[in-house]
Every structure is written in C-alpha cells, then in structure tokens.
Structure 1
C-alpha cells in the first residue's frame, strides 16, 4: 500500500515539477522584422510638343469617273485592253466596224472636190465677165454679171457645206475607235466583241482617275464649333482660306502615314445628322488608294502645345477622376489627380496644370491653376496595386520609351490599373 501511495505521489509530483520548471523559465519573444518596402517601377514623363486631333471615318472617291459610251452605232470588232488596266488619255480601248463610216467619209471628200471644181468654174465665168465689161461696157449686161456672181457665191457655199460634211464624216470615222478621255484605271468591259453598240446609249466600260484621290468625311457640329472658335482666336487657320493638313490611316494601319489637306467644306450643316461635309485630297502617288475605300482621317483640333506623356498603364481611375502615383524624395507615394488628353505615339498626354476651385480671403470661390506634374517627377508605371498613398516603396527607374517598346511589362501594369478602378 505504501508503494502504491508512493507511486501516486511520484505520479503527482512529476508533472508538477515539470510545470514549476517550465514556469520558472522566462518566455522568449520572436524578433519581428519590418516588411520590406514594395518594389515599383518608376519613370519620368516625357516632355513633348503635341497637337490634339479628332479622327473621323472617311470614304475615298475618284476625282474623275467616266462611263465610256460609243459616239457611233455599229458592231464591236476589237477590245484593246485587259480588265483593270491603267490607261492614258487617248489610248484606244475599243474599235467599231468602220466600213460604213469610211464610205461616208470618201463620199464627203468627193463631194468637196466636186464643189471646189464648180467654184473654180463659176469664178472663172465671173472673172471673164468683169474683164469683158472693162473693155466694152455694153458687151455684157449687168444682169448677166450679177447672175455669174450669184453662181460663184452659190459654189462657194457648196464648198463650205462640203467641208462641214467632210469634217462630220471624219468625226464619225474617228469615233469608230473609242479612246479613254482621262488617265486612270479601267473597270471590266461591259460588252463583248461582236455585239451591236448604240451611240450614246451602250456603256462599254468605266474609267476612274487614280491620282490624286478625294476622301469625304463628316464633322459633327460640336467639333466644327470648337474649331471655328480656335480660328476666331487666331490659334488655327481657317479651312476655307487655306490648306488644312490632315493624315489618313487605311485598314488595320495604326499609323496615320498618308498626308493630305482639306480642299472643300460644305456650305451648310446637314439637319438630319448635325454634321458638315469636308473633303480632303491625297496625292496617292503609289496608287494604293482606290475609290470607295473606308478610311480614317485625322484632323488637328488644337495648336501645337507642350504636354507630359506617360504610358496609359500608369494612369488609374477613382470615382471618375484620373490619377497617377508619384514617388517623392522620401520614397513615399503621393496621389496626384490629373487631367488627361489624347494618345500620341502610344503615350497618353497629361496636362501639367489643373484648374481647381478655392475659397479666397473674402469667401469668394476662385479658380486657380495648380501644377500637378513635373517632367522630373517619378511616376509609378508598374506596381500601382502595391503602392498606396503615404507608404514607402522601393522604386526602380526605367525609361518611358523603353517601357513602351517592352510589351511584356504592360500586362501587370494594366492589371494593376483595372484593380484600382
């Protein structure tokens, strides 16, 4: 029994002693290390002189478009081109059976020769009468002399008529060869060889000029009014008094590489669309543009001005306001509300100054210009999600243009921007 009791005591004393032993040791707290500042990529805005533009959908049209019809009727005997050929003015495109018109031409020539012979004969008779009258006034009567003069004049009229008939016959004969009235590109032929064509009725082919080429586009009323206000303020030239330069992009092209100018503005707004029609002309030296092509026209809507350019991925949106995050000298993040402009060569324009409302000493609300961004500021271009206003960050400097040429860096920044939204 004593052993059992002793065992119980042992069993009771062992955990107690262990507890006392453990409790007698002072606890050691783990050392908490501060978190490293998040890494972000920063870049300075590019300071550039830019011009704002508006882009409109346009449709090209040939300066000249001609449906070629025959001027004489007859059977088509020959086609001298391939569909789609580029031709020069005066090139013979079609030939019509000319035998009938050749016979009429020969007849007109013979008639002219006959009239000329009659004129020579009547002129000789009249000259003889004058000569006789001079020698002996009573040898020929005035009545006879007048008759001979009338015959001479009638022969002259016959000659003039024959000349006109010959010219007309020559025209009909020449028109048997149908020529191109302009330099341009042909469409497909509409009539095959052997068919009867009718003068001024049958359409043989269409030809359009290639260069230069027009592009028509419509400008909305608000844009037109803003442009006219800039003209009134003397900041832009009027399109009615000078050539306004424009650029064109075709198809999937992102660059507006074709240069032209506005040469026509409509005389009134279209009441149904609230827009006015403009026309631009392009040289089209490489003959790339064809009539009926849908394109995009870029027209300047501001004078050249200074702007700061950053990548779009550096701009966030908060309740409709655009902002950028800037790292200051203390490597702390600052929140800057900005006004953004248009894209220029892949970068977004930011206005260095913003107009804000403030309360003056007299309690009146006044508007003032506040500088929000400088060319020397370090704008966060990647890591916006990790960078919160007021915290310290570890900035890594990159070049804005290098970042623009590195597509792989964009998705993370774009994801950050969309998260901030």
Structure 2
C-alpha cells in the first residue's frame, strides 16, 4: 500500500555555507540538540469502517401446526446442533400416523387378495376354463391394489415425517435469542420465527474498499507484485476505543464496483471465541502488511528542505555538522521514515538547526528519542 506524507512541510532554507572573515572575532559554537536515529518497523495501515456479520444464522420455524408442549431452552443460552428447542403436542400427529399405518395394512391385504386371485385365474386359463379377458381384468385389479399400497406407504411416510417435526432441534450451534412463543400457544408454518440462532465462534466483518485503493491493488497484481492475503495483518478497534486482540484474514473481495458509492464490498473473517463481536456491531478495521519493513525514523523537526530536496544535519567528528540528503516515506509518530540517506545510529540535529551551515562546529547536547507509533 502506498505510503502518504503527512504533517507540515520542512522549512525551505538555503544551503550556502558561511565562511569566517580573516581577522574577525570568532563567535562561540552554536548550541544544538541532537538525537540518535532509531530503526523502527514502519507500517501505514489502511483504515475502514466495518460491520460485524454472522457467518451462520438460522430462524427456527414450525413445520407442522399444533400447540407448543414445551420450550426447552433459556433465552440467550448457547446451544449445540441437535439440541431440543421446542416440542409440539404430538397427539394429533400420532393419530394420523396410526391411521396411515392402518391404510397401509388394508391396502396390503387387498393386494395379497388380488395376487392370489390372479394366480388362480392364470391356472384356470391354462386349463382353458376362463377367458383371457377375465385374466386381464384380474391382472388390472392386482396392479391397482399394488399401487394403492404405494400410496398408503407414502401417506404413512408423510405422517411419520410430520410427527418428527413436532420435535424441533437446533440445526446449528450458536447463541439462541428469545422465544417468540411460549408454552400453550398454537404455532404453525405461518407463525413466523419461533427463535433465532446465531453462530458467534467465528464472524465476518463487512467493509467497503475504495475504488482508488482497489485500482492500486489491481496494478500491483498486473505488475506481478500481487496482494497475498496471507501477508496482511488485519486488526480491529472496538466502539469503546479498545483493540480486539485476535487478528483476522481477508475472505472475499467483490468483483464489481458499486457505481453509487465508488467502492467494492469486501469481507474479513475473525475468530470470536469469547463472543465479544456481535452481528450488527460497527468496528474500525485496520489493514497493514504483516511483515512491515524496518527503516530509520528521523524526527520531523530535524528535516529541512531546499531546491534540491530534503536534508538533515548530522553530527560528526569534533562536533562538526554536515548535510545529509534524505528521501522520506510514511509518517511514524512525530517523525518520518527514511527510505534513502540514513542507516540508523547517526546523530541528527533536532534543535538549533536554522543557524547551521555545512562544516560548522557546534556544542551538542542529547535530546529525547523520536517517538514511535502508527
């Protein structure tokens, strides 16, 4: 991700040296404050506003009509897949199952009788006692009886399935909300949701990537650089200002830009073992490189600029200062990361800098190290 320069621009100064005039009285060396250049890990995270979403959520509904016999959970408790949630009174459903079984037995008895009749008539046909037309009629009666058995069996299967629906279990594991119906109420397929289960152990964070950043990512991919999700560090900041301790990963980036907003939808996945993140919650998402480079960081007050670019004054041997040209990158706390010109460990002038010139002798004192932060 491209790093952006921030803060006020360094003062624009001349780099002309001041020569001492022969015979002139020499002024005492100017007092300056110096700091040691520290090497720090530099990252420039992108910041997004995200919304927490459940990966799995199920509305529990009644599939058969009946009176609620029991509600077998407490509002808000954790449930596992297969746990009993509701019981619908099964008496009427048991009666329908019994009736369907009787119809199966009746149809099967009729089929057996038709099968025996068909066997007798085939034997009589072989003896030329009955006509072929009679045998055909008996065969048709047997076929109808066999089909009636299948119809009765299907009705029994349906009745038994409806009976099983009287025992309502959790299809997924998660946290269940409040029951919208209590014991004794008549419920059915038109009653709406009886309760809602939301899986919280792992959640998604939906956010929108700006069109400009997406173009940058695509350009990196086109040039062979790419954007490996495994090289990114995703972190969250909660509404109370605290940081969420568990990192996440990019799950999905949409393949079309929303013309209304100029953004593309993306999702990240975060483990949520303590259920701190709840669906509908707004969070701040930070995306940065996992292995950010380590660069020298120079205090902002030490940087000057002239027509040739930016530079600092380094303290050398015998307290003599010299100009050092630098290239700066991202802001890091109250300093700048230096991409070229410094290696770390140098002594740089941070106060009294406006009075300096190349090769001047100074009286240095040590200042406070530049503060870090991202």
TM-score by length of 2: 0.77
- Which of 31, 40, 45 is the aligned partner of 2:38? 45
Tell me the residue number matched to 1:339. 328
Kindly name which structure, 1 or 2, has the bigger radius of gyration based on alpha carbons.
Answer: 1
- 1:61: which partner in 2? 53
Equivalent residue for 1:329? 317
* Alignment match of 1:193 (pick from 170, 183, 189): 183
Counterpart of 1:351 in 2: which secondary structure? strand
1:200-241 CA distance string (max 9 Å, x none): 432211112224321111111221122222222222237xxx
Instruction: Give the counterpart of 1:315 among 285, 294, 300.
Output: 300
- The 5 A counterparts of 1:347-358 are 350-353=337-340
Query: Is residue 2:85 matched to residue 1:93?
Result: yes
Determine the structure 2 residue equivalent to 1:395.
365
Instruction: Tell me which residue corresponds to 1:25.
Output: none
Distance 1:114 1:348, change over 3 A: farther
Q: Structure 2: which 5+ runs fail to align?
A: 1-26
The correspondence for 1:377, drawn from 338, 341, 346, is 346
Counterpart Cα distance in 1 of 2:174 and 2:123? 64
The structure whose residues are more often helix, as a share, is: 1
Partner residue in 2 for 1:122: 114
Q: Distance in 1 between matches of 2:311 and 2:243?
A: 28
Structure 1 residues 244 and 176: CA distance shift in structure 2, 3 A = farther
1:186 and 1:206 in contact (8 A); partners too = yes
TM-score under structure 1 length normalisation: 0.69
How far off its partner does 1:309 sit? Answer: 3.4
Q: Write the deviation string for residues 321-358 of structure 1: whole angstroms up to 9, x where unpaired.
A: 98766433343566767524054xx68551333xxxxx
Q: Which residue of 2 aligns with 1:292?
A: 280
For these two proteins, the number of residue pairs brought into alignment is 338
Summarize the alignment of residues 9-408 of structure 1 with structure 2, pairs less than 5 Å apart: 38=31, 40=33, 42-46=35-39, 48=41, 50=42, 52-134=44-126, 136=127, 138-237=128-227, 245-251=232-238, 252=240, 257-300=245-288, 305=293, 307-309=295-297, 314-316=299-301, 326-331=314-319, 339-343=328-332, 350-353=337-340, 371=341, 373-379=342-348, 384-385=350-351, 388-390=354-356, 392-396=362-366
**Cα distance change of structure 1 residues 205 and 326 upon mapping to structure 2, 3 Å threshold:** farther
Q: Describe the shift of the 1:335–1:270 C-alpha distance in structure 2 as closer, same or farther (beyond 3 A).
A: farther
1-structure distance, mates of 2:49, 2:243: 15
Q: In the alignment, is the contact (CA less than 8 A) between 2:34 and 2:351 conserved in 1?
A: no
Unaligned runs of 5+ residues in structure 1 are: 1-33, 354-370, 406-421
How big is the alpha-carbon RMSD for the aligned residues of Structure 1 and Structure 2? 3.5
Q: Are the structure 2 counterparts of residues 211 and 280 from structure 1 closer, same or farther at C-alpha, using a change threshold of 3 Å?
A: same
Residues 51-82 of structure 1, C-alpha deviation per residue, up to 9 Å, x if partnerless? 54312111111112222221112222211111
SS of 2:196's equivalent in the other structure is strand
